Amino acid sequence: MKKIFGIIIIAAFISCNQTNKAVPEKKMEDMPKDSAKNNLAKLDYASKKDLSCGMPITAGLSDTTTYKGKLYGFCSAECKADFLKDPEAHLAAK
């Protein structure tokens, strides 16, 4: 019985210490910095400003939405949520 228990312990130890070397890990320093923000800046927007707070979208974008086939940029998730509550009112005030 002690031999079987010993074999199980050794097998568990060996299997836990194996690493998967087939897929290399990506490190944060290997990824492009601000790639998401750079991609947002390259898009064509229907308005040059955040329709919720009025901030120019060139100052910084963190979120977008599409409304009636047009793309709108927002400085924050809160501004996007405010716009989505009543998009027509924001567009009318544009």
Maximum alpha-carbon separation in the chain: 81
Q: What is the pLDDT of residue 78?
A: 95
> 81-90: which pairs have CB atoms within 8 A and are 24 or more residues apart?
82/52, 83/51, 83/52, 90/51, 90/52
pLDDT along the chain (94 residues), means of 10: 75 63 55 62 88 90 92 94 95 86
If we measure between CA atoms, which residue out of 49, 46, 47 comes closest to residue 59?
49
Q: Which amino acid belongs to residue 48?
A: K
Q: What is the pLDDT of residue 92?
A: 92
Give pLDDT, residue 34: 59
Task: Give residues with Cβ within 8 angstroms of 7, minimum separation 6.
Answer: none
pLDDT at 64: 92
SS3 24: coil
Residue 18 pLDDT: 57
What residues does each domain of the chain span? 36-94
| DSSP letter assigned to residue 52 | T
Per-residue model confidence (pLDDT) at position 42: 80
- DSSP structure class, residue 50: -
